[in-house]
Amino acid sequence: MVVEDQSEVAAFLADPRTWGVDRVERIDTHGAMVFLAGDRAYKLKRAVKFPFMDFSTLALRERACAAELRVNRRTAPQLYLGTARVTREGEGLAIDGPGPAVDWIVVMQRFDQERLLDRIAARGALDDALAERVACAVAAFHASVERCEGFGRSADIVALIADVGANMAAQPALDEGARAALIAACSQAFRDAGALIDSRQRAGFVRWCHGDLHLRNICVLEGGPTLFDAIEFNDSFCCTDTLYDLAFLVSDLCRIALRPAANRVLNRYLEETGDWDGVPLLPLFLALRAGILAYTLAASAQAQRDPARTEALAADARRCLALGRQFLAPQAGRIVAIGGLSGSGKSTAARALAPALGRIPGAVILRSDVLRKRRAGVAPTTPLGPEHYGPGSSEAVYRELRERASVLARAGQAVVVDAVFARAAERDMLADAARASGVAFAGFWLDVAPAVAAARVAARRGDASDATVAVVEQQRGYDLGRIDWTRIDAAPGAVAVTETLRRALA
């Protein structure tokens, strides 16, 4: 709800003469007006009062501007330059004049809007490499921020579900029946997972996160993906579970039908953090984020001056509401194993197959190479010595693969397990675990000529696998035993192999 007329301040900030430029661009959201002038951006907090955000007084807006500077300099110090006063000078206004303040603004370094992740995605340039870089940036940020006590408990999630429902109810563009169905589904998902929420809070997964991590709040600058515009006005929004923070980005990618990118971001984030234990909460977190997207888009629609833009945002809000239900649609878990000697293309096939399996955003990939690195306490791309590949170490890795796959599949998650599986006992162990868990299982073995495998391994860069051409030669002597999984010729390449896998699973 708007509580104060800011039209004079907005007109002053939109006037090119204020900044000595030829043109000022204005961007409107439900909580702010942003004015782009020259090489700067000036952000004015709207004088609004919502249940979740209160900028209704000058003092509150001043405080919010200072807080915005503080929280965003954690990730984007090059963008957040300072704050400024809009002052009353006689009959007019000025920036940082001697007169009394009538409003406050955040001063930012302007950047090319085409560098925003939503713009990059819209022009089809959000490729796998960039998706992984974004995931790594988010994982590094989450690792760097402090834990939050007193937030992120199961009681807070109950309150969050209620708040999302109330905020959606305040938006007439959102259908009442669809709103109620989403909130009911969220409540049921919470009842199934409340204990896990509290255990994660105790384990330190509730941190001072971003809070608003959608595509329009990530830009790609020279230093790489940069997170900005973090929440400063409500501690309960940013002091949250790290997976809930990530869920906004994954949900937003699904909103624009980029499920493969969403799956890529999720799996790379899980590889960087090792947070597979939290995945059973992901459907609830994604659905809540979709609900938040729905009501913020609907609120933004009301703030637009262009009727066409208003309708476009309202339609997008309705799609988000439907997406929230899809995230929580009941789904049977399953385990798909992809085995083969080094260089056979297992990991490429797993990444290509995962987005289409199971509920949105697709399957979780469990890769033996990554688990081995995590067990050693190193990053996925850090090389390990031969002592980490002995029988005892390998048996522990395969046990962990089996246990993690079983837990995730029982929670309704599709899982792709990517490992060599050179021994029949390793293959049998995973198939037996799927049967014991009551979930579907499919095993595939990729065959490829040694020369092709050696060429692929030699060409790898920045991968979790430590396989070398010498390892490929060594594996030629393995006694593989019986292979009763579906065998696929992997020589034709990733596209053909993935299509064969999809047909077999269909």
Domains annotated on the chain, with CATH: 7-110 (3.30.200), 115-327 (3.90.1200.10), 334-505 (3.40.50.300)
Neighbours of 492 (CB within 10 A): 13
Given this model, what pLDDT does residue 118 score?
Answer: 96
Tell me: the pLDDT tens digits for 231-278?
999 898 899 999 999 999 999 999 999 999 999 999 999 999 999 999
Q: 1: pLDDT confidence band, cut at 50, 70 and 90?
A: confident
Tell me the chain's radius of gyration from C-alpha atoms. Answer: 25
Q: Which letter does DSSP use for residue 447 in this model?
A: E
- Token match 């021994």: residue? 423
Residue carrying structure tokens 């920036």: 95
The pTM for the full model equals 0.92
CA angle (339, 412, 128) in 5-degree steps: 55
| pLDDT of residue 30 exceeding 90 | no
pLDDT surpasses 90 at 115: yes
Contacts for 432 with CB less than 8 Å, ≥ 6 apart? none
Tokens of 283: 């459907």
Q: How far apart are CA 388 and CA 368, in angstroms?
A: 12
| Count of helices and strands (H, E) across the chain | 19, 17
- 128 alpha carbon, distance to own chain's centre: 14
Q: Helix, strand, coil shares of the chain as percentages rounded to 5?
A: 55, 20, 30
pLDDT of residue 9: 97
Nearest to 282 by CA among 466, 386, 412, 393: 412
Q: Maximum CA pair distance of the chain?
A: 90
Q: What does the pLDDT read at residue 463?
A: 87
Amino acid identity, residue 326?
Q
Beta strands 218-221 and 206-208, pairing class: unpaired
If pLDDT is split at 50, 70 and 90, which confidence band does 315 have?
very high
CA neighbor of 373 nearest in space, from 392, 357, 362, 389 = 389
10 Å CB burial of residue 39 (0-12, 13-18, 19+) is: exposed
pLDDT greater than 90 at residue 339: yes
pLDDT digits (tens, 9 = 90+) for 408-457: 999 999 999 999 999 999 999 999 999 999 999 999 999 999 888 888 88
d(CA 310, CA 292): 18
Banded model confidence at residue 462, pLDDT cuts 50, 70, 90: confident
Pick from 89, 112, 69, 113: which is nearest to 12 by CA? 89
The stretch 208-218 carries a mean pLDDT of 96
Percent of the chain beyond pLDDT 90? Answer: 80
pLDDT at 206: 97
Mean pLDDT of the chain: 93
Quick one: tokens of 91?
A: 């009959």
